[in-house]
Structure formats: structure tokens, C-alpha cells
Structure 1
């Protein structure tokens, strides 16, 4: 057992050891600062190199501590009186030491503290002598910045190395006396690194988000190992929120996670095309989703038709852009059921596979109703049944929504109908999620969610999805640049509270107060978000126990797939050759042409 645990050989030098194939040198802390703050040793703990830190603590019995303090006070008082008799001025350092000794003696007498013998050793490891010298100099610089005095273990390299092994043996015994408060301040109770989630086989799970901005360690995070699988990403425009989301999505696909994306700006299209995903370009000729489609019948006994009618109430409220009154809701409820009945669909489960009605059928039922409310609703539906937007929502569905990655690209849609189109796409995704076998993880990404959350009915649908997604092994990733639309309403704050993964990137000064209040940020975190560069983010867990500042990184191949920077895309197209008219059509980010 010892042969396996120990190195194959140790070569002892004056200040270093050759332990197996690498070198090690030990530094001893001989001097400490007069005043410290809690966790003041954290910079040493976060040293990016290979550094072993050993803190040896031995309690001093109270009788021995009291006797030692009594002798120290007597020695200091004797020196003061001798100097006074000789006409010397008071020494400020002696006066301060006497006051500290007296205060410490009183605390020990009252049982408010104890004394400890403390030794702090630092062992630096490196592959060669040059690297060892550089690493030792870096550790010395950090220690001196903390006002500590460092000394090498000259001719005591082996005992120094043994003192930093996890054996609990102080082979050097170069100690200082600490009281309870000073010793407690030495412990770095917080760490900038997140705890690593592990799978059933004990290996690390999750995907790489980036590098820790403090320690440089990799940040691995598994959203599916949390209490729920939802996330919220908030940032100002251009901070890199969609880039980070696409990076996580691409890496999750390699772990056999399936995904669906609501993409208002066609930023995920090139990613989908690269990995063999399916793109549904709503607004293109012949691409349409019918809001009257029924989900597949389930064995749970739920009334699918009733649930579909409830969704149609939400969809019509978003489509019409106003809250539906009680009278209008009653008329619409009758009209929905009548439209389904005319299509041969009733409460009988055997009829649910028949062809569903369309908005034209609904408008016809409203027109035949004869009431003033029904006529007004029919008139408001004209743009979507026979007017300018008829091809978007009126007619049977023409797009399949199944696949390991399905992207609903909405850039071709006018701004006025993007919110109802997002809701319709989300409904299609939810029907797919609830009808699939619960054998794999699924992620639903809603980019630019403010388009939907600014509408009350749309926000309620998103909230219900966030609450129920976990039951189907599904996570909801909400990405938005407008913090006010998310945090100004109770529904938005509820969506945030139901997200176990929270990512904050650079924030505008106008929004930082709202962000700080809702996410309980300290002053340092607030300043980090105000000064963060593109790609720097603050990852929070929903329970606030863990948080980390990170820098997102992507491999060159990943970057080419997920970037939407216009300059980089133009350079890529320039490398591919020119069209005959000297322009390029960028199918990945929209229909605009790059004039080169």
C-alpha cells in the first residue's frame, strides 16, 4: 500500500525536492499583518498554479495561555516604567502591544476566546526549475500583497514538504500565537468555484460554461442536476447572452439532450443546419401552424378538447393584442366548441384525430352568431382570416415539429405578429414535449422572451410552462435583454424564482438597481456586471448558495457555428467566393444581403 501511495523516489536539495517527475519547494509564513478581514487568505487558495496550503492549529490550554499573557504584560509594563524613569518618550508599538495583551487576557478570563499555536506552510509544485522559480515568485508576490512575510525552508526541504502532506504532522513547528477571532479570519469559508455535480457513475456531469474569472478553473454546470431545469439569462444588447446560450445548447446536444428553440432573430439557424436540426421558418411561403391543432391523445384521462379551448382563449388574447372581456370570452367559448363540432370533433376521444377547424371556420361561426359582440370579434379577425396576415395562422399546419433540434425562426414575421407566433410555436413545442416518451432530457430555449412577456396572457403561458416542465424532464431557458419586462411584473418574478440556473451578463446602469434588488447582489457583484466585457457573466443558483463569475470560451469550430457578429460573417462569406452581382445572401441570419 505504501509503494502505491508514495512517489518512486525523492531527491533532496537545499531549497527544493525532486518528488518523482516534478519539483517542489516549501515556503513558511513568518510574519502576519496587524489587521485582517474574514477570508483574507482566499487569494492564496485561488492561486491558479499547483499550490498546497497547510494550516496547522494546536489549541493552548487556558491556564497556560493566561500565565503566558501575564508574563507578557509584566514584561511590557516593566519596559514602559524603565523608559519612563529614564525620561524616554512612550513607544507607540509597546503601548499598542500592552493594550492588546490586556484585552486578550480579559477575553480569555471571561471565556470569550482562546489562544492557538498556528503554523502556515505553502508548497509550490512545478515541472522544472525555471517554472518552479516563477511559481514560487508568484506565490511570494501574492503573500507580500497580503502583508505576510515569507521565508524558504533552506536545508529543511523534506520536513517542509512533509508538513504540507495530508498527514496532520507539523515537522517544522514554526508557529505564531493566534486568538479565536484572528484564527477564524484565516479560513476562506467561501470559494469562487462551484461544486461539481456528479452522475451515477461518480464522474463529473454537466457542460463547460467557461473559465472562472477569479481562479481560472473550468466552470462545469449541469442544469439537469438542479432542483428544476429552468434558467433565466439577462443582459443588455450585445453582451453575449445568445452566444452563451448557443454554446451551452451545442454542448448539451453532445450529451444526447434534445432541444427546441424560439428564435425571433434567426440566430440559431446556422447551428441547427450544422448539427442536422430542423428549421421551421414561420412567415415563409407555405409554412404555417394551425392554432386549432389538437395534441395527441394520452392515457391520463385528461380532456384534450377542453384544454385546447383554454389555450385558444390565451392565443386570441395575444393575437388581438387586448384583454378579452367576460362577454367576449363567453362568445368565443361557444364559437370554439361550435367550430370543432362542425369539424366533427366532440368530447368523444375517437373524434380527436379528425381534421381540426381553422380561423376561417371560427370567423364563420362568429358571423352566424348574430350578436354585436360576435360581429365585432369577427371584424377584428379579418386581418388573420382573409387579410394581410391570413397566410400565417389561417389554414392547416404544414410544418413538422419533431426532431433532436427544432428551431422556430421568426425573423420573417412582422413585429406585430411575433408575439402570437412565439406563443403558437411554444404551444407546438409543449404538445411535442408532453406527448414524447419520458426517456430523455429536453431543453426549450425562448430567446428575446420580452416579446412574449410584455403581454399578460403570453407571460401566464410561459409561467405555467416553467412550473410544469420538470415533470417531463424538460428545462425552460428564458433569454431576454429587457429586465423590466421580466422583473416588473409578479409573473416575471415568479418565472425567475422558478429558475434554478440564473445567468447575468453586462447590465446597463439604468437597470442595475432593479437587477441588484431582485437577485440580492452585493456591491462587488454589482460593479462586476457594470464593467463586464462581452462574454463575462455571473452564474447564480436559485437558492443563492453558490455563485461564480465566469468568462465564456468557445473552440474555433464552435465559434464559427454560433457567432452572429456581422463583421465575422462578412469575412466568412468573403472567403467562400462572390455571387455574380457582388452580394451574398446570409441564410443563417436572415434575408438581408451583404454588399461587399
Structure 2
């Protein structure tokens, strides 16, 4: 009887063991289910028991003071705000999907993928895409290194398959297959020789504000990708815009899945594309940083075929003055054989002038400035100007323009007295032996006071100036008397006494000159245009004599552009400025004055470099006049103005019809010079001045070392060339 319970327990264990070995049977399934239930109930009971043994939760309000709790709440709210900001920056609030496009936030997008690549890509083959300033797009490249051994095996299989297909094909297609097989074999050999292999996937997301603009933008992007030098096959991700957009995201994986095998050289050609989109001219200065690829935009205004002039325009506070000063400093420091001249009426450049230790010429003081001055034109310039050019007649027009403006400034009309004024001007030049013969232009120039001597003779002996009829004598005498009275301010005790004598400044021995019109503490009166015209004329005449390049900045240029009487001469100066290595750079706030007169439009055409900072007045009409498309116009309207917090300003710069969006920012030491305030700072505090100044002896020693280093490098280069040639010759002989 005692064996009966033991036997029963053994039978139960045997039965349970059998069920455990047969989980697919009904009994086995029930056994496992029951086991799971028992274990679950037991585990739950143990967990509850364990939880009851834990210590109770601590309320932080019991152990921390109220100030700490408030600080913690504030920090938590800040982290929540940052989290929300990150979500807003990385993803839109909502997306509306369509077959070929998507509405992402406030914009419409279409994402393209590259289906086929060029077999032999050119360096920087996407450069044309990055030059599309009128299209907003994002380009994402997924480049993943492949296992070298696996890549060799894959390429070998591909080459073998193509070779078999080529051998079996008996049609005209066999030649094509053979070419593909040869290319695959060449790729395999390159990898076998150590070339790196990558998986490459390219995605381009095109953006626009509406579907019509999006359609045009997609067409432009596809054209840039299909044509030389890219030679790609772009396709729209139809019905897969969601995956394509994720793949084009900067932090997304290639979930689209479209990839191609690329060697290291192809990847290098791709990575060179953003840098080819910028402008890098030898001998130029950095205008700014390219807005898309952060590479420097380096332009040399003196390398232009259609002139060296430039103009910069922007609203007040847009950063145009800061950018113009930065560009001026870099230009004159670029070459020792370059002279810088500043002309502005509002005293805005006084700090830069003081920082650069310029030769400061105060206009309106006692320094002699002769409006009639003419300088001899060098022979090489004469040949460039052409046989029909007449510097003498141009000077006569310039002098008459100055005198006409003088009378207009006083509210006086010349009327028919103009002929007598012209007669006296020409006789003044003749008395110095100056004629249309260029060789006579080196003679001393007459002054307005010597013109008054001529008019005095006209009053005493008018018959000597008669051309045909004796009746002219009375008119000549009356006109001369009137002109003597009106030109009285140019006599020694007159208001413009310094303009009635010979000029007393020269630019040949100076590095930087500041022509200061601001005796009235920054105020601008009606004589500003007259004085600015005179100074432009004098700089132009002196630029003829020097062999150095001259950078001539004219700030607040609107004062001369609005004056019709001075535009004729100014247009002549712009027409011939490049013959004298003169780069005139206009800086102004508005663009209206460039289209008020035919001469001002001609001046604009002579400006090979144009730079727009933020300009609210840039509308469709002005954009069309300057050759800007809609996107470029919007870029100028929305450009970031200059401010200390951002540390930069944005601008659109155009060179020879090509436009680049740039970010204008200065290096710290440049900023110290640009922002220098002579009323609050001492020049010794500037970098390179005071204790940090470099003595002339050290500078001379550095120059000699540099010359010796250049000479040694040239000698080494010559030796290297000879050695290389010998090695190549030996190889050829072998």
C-alpha cells in the first residue's frame, strides 16, 4: 500500500515529462501555458513583496529650500524650451505629402535622387549647381566606406558577368557590353591597386514658396545636374518623397536606399564642387565668405577687362560702410605699389584715417587746390586712349563744369556770358603754352586768378579779343567786368582763396590720403558737390603721373551723382580711369541717383564690381535694371544688416555678371582699426602701433629675408626641374 502513492507520483512525473517533450500536442501546450501562469503569478507576488520592503519616496520639498526648488523649476522649463527649439529646428510642425512634392512647414519641396553617375566625373562637377543663386536647395551626400575585400569581390563578379554577356552576345550590342566589361575590369584593377571604395548616394531637396516657383526651380536644378560638367541623371522620387526627404535631412540615414559604388577619386571630385562655386582670383582681396560653402570670395578689381570701378550700396546700418572700410584696408595692404585715397563729406572715415596714419588734407582750409590743373598723360596711356582722344578738351569741359557749378551754387545764371568765360579760360591756358598738344600739358597750369588777369585785359582792350565784328568789343568788356565781380571769392582775401592758387599736395609720395570735407562737423551744404567734383578732378590728374595703382573711395557718392552739371565730367573720368590704374569705388545709400541721368547710367555701366548690402528699396524695377532675378532681389531685401551680436553682415556681390551671396566679417584686429575712435582712443592702442609697432629696420630685414627665400626657392625649383627632366629622359631612353 505504501508503494501506491510513490507509483502514482512517478506516473505523474512521467506524464509531465512526456508532455514537456511534445509541446505541439494539446496536452504539451496546456502544460507550458500552465507553467507560464504559475511563474507569472509567483514572480508578481515576489515583486510586490520586494516593493513593500523599499524605503518610502522622498519629497524634495522636505529637504530642499524654496529658492533651490524654484531654480530647479526654472532650469527644467529652460530645458523644455531648448528641447522644443531643437524640435522646431530639425523638423516642421506638419508635412503635407503629394506625389512629386511636399509642403514642409511654409515651403514646398521636391526631393531628387541621382539615378546614374558619370563614369569619369570632372573635378568639382557640381559647381554649376552651387552657382545657382536664384534657387534655394539642400544637397546631401551619403558617403560610406566599403569593406575593401568585399568590394573587390563584388567588382570582380560584376566584371566577370559583363564579360560573359559580351562574349555570348552576337548582336551589335556586344560592342557596348564589351566596353562596359572593360570599364568594370579597369575599376576592379584600380581597387586591386589600393583605391578606396565607397557607397555613394546623392539627394537634392529643392525649396520654393509656391508650386509654380518650385516647378521652375526643379527645372533649373535638373538642368544643372544633367549638363556639363555634372553629367548626372537626376530623377524625382515619385510617391517616395517621404523617404527621399528623410534621406536628404542633414541628420538622417539613407532610408531611400539608392546608392552607387564610387572610387576615392570620384568622391574627391564631388567634395571639390562647393569650392569651385566661389571666386578665387590671384592678387585679389577677400570680399567675404561664400554664404553656402563658407569658402572665401576673393576678387581683384584691377583684373577686370571692362574697368576697375566698383560701387557699394545699402541702407543705413546695413554694414556697407564697415564693408567698404574693410575692403579699402585690405586693398591698400595688398600691395606696396598701391595708393589709397578717401573722399567723404561726413567725417565717417576719420577713425580709419587716423588709424592708418594718413596724410589728411582739409578742404576749405588754406591748402591750395587748383581747379584748372592739368597733368601730362603718359605715352602708354595715350596709346590706350586712341588717336582721337583729347585730354585738353576734356580738361576744358571739366573746368567749365566746375565754374558752371560755382555760379549755380550762388543762384546765378551765366546766360550768354558763358562764351566769354570759355574765351578767358582758353586764353589762360594759351598763356602757359598749353594746347591740344599733349607734350605741352607738363607746363605749369593756369589758375582762376590768372583768368581774372585775362578778364582785366578784356575790359581794358576788348578789341584784342574780337573774332569778327567790332560790335563784339562792348559785350566782351561788359561780360569781363561782370565775371571779375562774380569771381572775386577766388582772390587772396576771398572765401575760396585756396581754390585760386596752385595745388599744394601730391599723391606720389603718400600711401594713404584722406580728403576731409568735414570742417562743418559733418554737415553738408550746397557746396559739397562742387568741392567733391574738384577733388575728383585733382585725383584723376594726379593718377596720370604715378606708376602705382590708386584705390579711390568716394563715400556718400549721392551728392555728386545727383548733380547733373558735374556728371558729364565724372562720366569721362569713369570712361578713362582704367588707363591710369585708377579704381574708383562709390559708396551710397540709394540707387535712384544712378538712373536719373544718362551720364549716371553710363557711370554705372563702368562699375565692373557691384555690391549690395541690405536694401529695402530694392524692388522689381531696380532689380531688373541691375540684372538681378527674383531670388537675388529677395536676398538683398532680407540680407542680415551689420551688428555686433551677429558679427557679420550679408551682401550680394556681382563680378562680370556673376553674383555671389557673401558674409562680410572682419578679423579682430581689422575691427579694431575700422572702429577706431580718435576722440576716445589713442593710436598707440591699435595693433601694430605703440609697443607692438614694427621698426623700419626690422621691416627692411624681413623684406630682405623674404627676397632671399624667394631666390632660394626659385633656385631649388630650377634644380628640381633639371633633375626631373633627367629622370624622365632616362625613362624614355630605357
Cross-structure match for 1:183: none
Determine if the alignment matches structure 1 residue 237 to structure 2 residue 320.
no
CA-CA distance at 1:539 after TM superposition: 2.9
Could you tell me how far apart the structure 1 residues matched to 2:246 and 2:566 are? 56
CA-CA distance at 1:297 after TM superposition: 6.4
Deviations, residues 476-516 of structure 1 (Å, cap 9, x unaligned)? 2111113211222222222222222111112134x535432
Equivalent residue for 1:547, pick from 638, 659, 684: 659
Determine if the alignment matches structure 1 residue 499 to structure 2 residue 607.
yes
Could you tell me how far apart the structure 1 residues matched to 2:140 and 2:303 are? 29
Give the structure, 1 or 2, with the largest relative contact order (CA under 8 Å, sep 6 or more). 1
Could you tell me how far apart the structure 2 residues matched to 1:221 and 1:211 are? 12
Q: Which runs of 5+ in 1 are unaligned?
A: 1-31, 55-63, 65-114, 121-138, 154-158, 170-186, 200-204, 577-596
8 Å Cα contact 1:52/1:164 also seen in 2: no
Determine if the alignment matches structure 1 residue 289 to structure 2 residue 372.
no
CA-CA distance at 1:572 after TM superposition: 4.4
Could you tell me how far apart the structure 2 residues matched to 1:537 and 1:262 are? 25
8 Å Cα contact 1:280/1:408 also seen in 2: yes
Cross-structure match for 2:424: 335
Cross-structure match for 2:633: 526
Equivalent residue for 2:579, pick from 468, 471, 490: 471
CA-CA distance at 1:332 after TM superposition: 1.5
TM value normalised by structure 1: 0.61
Could you tell me how far apart the structure 1 residues matched to 2:448 and 2:576 are? 28
Query: Relative to structure 1, is the Cα distance of residues 448 and 387 closer, same or farther in structure 2, using a 3 angstrom cutoff?
Result: farther
Query: Relative to structure 1, is the Cα distance of residues 163 and 297 closer, same or farther in structure 2, using a 3 angstrom cutoff?
Result: closer
Cross-structure match for 1:174: none
CA-CA distance at 1:473 after TM superposition: 3.0
Could you tell me how far apart the structure 2 residues matched to 1:38 and 1:497 are? 39
User: Helix, strand or coil: the match of 1:219?
Assistant: strand
Deviations, residues 112-156 of structure 1 (Å, cap 9, x unaligned)? xxx979799xxxxxxxxxxxxxxxxxx99781489x972499xxx
Determine if the alignment matches structure 1 residue 214 to structure 2 residue 256.
no
Could you tell me how far apart the structure 1 residues matched to 2:514 and 2:417 are? 34
Equivalent residue for 1:448, pick from 546, 556, 561: 556
CA-CA distance at 1:239 after TM superposition: 1.7
Cross-structure match for 1:150: 254
State how 1:340-489 maps to structure 2 within 5 Å: 340-341=429-430, 355-370=444-459, 371=475, 372-385=478-491, 389-402=495-508, 403-412=510-519, 415-437=525-547, 440-489=548-597
Cross-structure match for 2:210: none
Could you tell me how far apart the structure 2 residues matched to 1:418 and 1:295 are? 24
Query: Relative to structure 1, is the Cα distance of residues 253 and 378 closer, same or farther in structure 2, using a 3 angstrom cutoff?
Result: same
Deviations, residues 23-52 of structure 1 (Å, cap 9, x unaligned)? xxxxxxxxx984257896879998799976
User: Helix, strand or coil: the match of 2:334?
Assistant: coil
CA-CA distance at 1:364 after TM superposition: 4.2
Query: Relative to structure 1, is the Cα distance of residues 162 and 333 closer, same or farther in structure 2, using a 3 angstrom cutoff?
Result: same
Could you tell me how far apart the structure 2 residues matched to 1:163 and 1:263 are? 57
Query: Relative to structure 1, is the Cα distance of residues 484 and 430 closer, same or farther in structure 2, using a 3 angstrom cutoff?
Result: same
Equivalent residue for 1:563, pick from 675, 678, 684: 675
CA-CA distance at 1:259 after TM superposition: 2.6
8 Å Cα contact 2:402/2:530 also seen in 1: yes
8 Å Cα contact 1:48/1:216 also seen in 2: no
Larger deviation: 210-219 or 350-359?
Answer: 350-359
Determine if the alignment matches structure 1 residue 254 to structure 2 residue 333.
yes
Q: Which runs of 5+ in 2 are unaligned?
A: 1-96, 102-108, 114-128, 146-172, 174-231, 238-243, 460-474, 643-648, 686-734
Larger deviation: 464-473 or 496-505?
Answer: 464-473
Deviations, residues 520-542 of structure 1 (Å, cap 9, x unaligned)? 33333333322323243433435
Could you tell me how far apart the structure 2 residues matched to 1:118 and 1:53 are? 22
User: Helix, strand or coil: the match of 1:461?
Assistant: helix
Could you tell me how far apart the structure 1 residues matched to 2:504 and 2:263 are? 68
8 Å Cα contact 1:266/1:411 also seen in 2: yes
Query: Relative to structure 1, is the Cα distance of residues 319 and 542 closer, same or farther in structure 2, using a 3 angstrom cutoff?
Result: farther
CA-CA distance at 1:398 after TM superposition: 2.2
Equivalent residue for 2:623, pick from 512, 516, 530: 516
8 Å Cα contact 1:192/1:214 also seen in 2: no
Deviations, residues 310-350 of structure 1 (Å, cap 9, x unaligned)? 32112212222379767333211211133345567677888
Could you tell me how far apart the structure 2 residues matched to 1:399 and 1:454 are? 28
Query: Relative to structure 1, is the Cα distance of residues 290 and 168 closer, same or farther in structure 2, using a 3 angstrom cutoff?
Result: closer
TM value normalised by structure 2: 0.50
CA-CA distance at 1:206 after TM superposition: 1.8
Cross-structure match for 1:70: none
Could you tell me how far apart the structure 2 residues matched to 1:226 and 1:329 are? 40
Query: Relative to structure 1, is the Cα distance of residues 428 and 168 closer, same or farther in structure 2, using a 3 angstrom cutoff?
Result: closer
8 Å Cα contact 1:503/1:537 also seen in 2: no
8 Å Cα contact 1:193/1:548 also seen in 2: no
8 Å Cα contact 2:614/2:638 also seen in 1: yes
Equivalent residue for 1:316, pick from 391, 403, 424: 403
User: Helix, strand or coil: the match of 1:291?
Assistant: coil
User: Helix, strand or coil: the match of 2:341?
Assistant: strand
Please tell me the root mean square deviation across aligned C-alpha atoms, in Å.
Answer: 4.5
Cross-structure match for 1:135: none
State how 1:152-191 maps to structure 2 within 5 Å: 163=262, 165-167=264-266
State the structure with more CA Rg.
2
- Aligned residue pair count: 430
Cross-structure match for 1:278: 359
Determine if the alignment matches structure 1 residue 35 to structure 2 residue 116.
no
Cross-structure match for 1:223: 301
User: Helix, strand or coil: the match of 1:501?
Assistant: strand
Query: Relative to structure 1, is the Cα distance of residues 415 and 357 closer, same or farther in structure 2, using a 3 angstrom cutoff?
Result: same
8 Å Cα contact 1:194/1:219 also seen in 2: no
Query: Relative to structure 1, is the Cα distance of residues 348 and 532 closer, same or farther in structure 2, using a 3 angstrom cutoff?
Result: closer
Could you tell me how far apart the structure 1 residues matched to 2:562 and 2:303 are? 31
Could you tell me how far apart the structure 2 residues matched to 1:445 and 1:117 are? 47
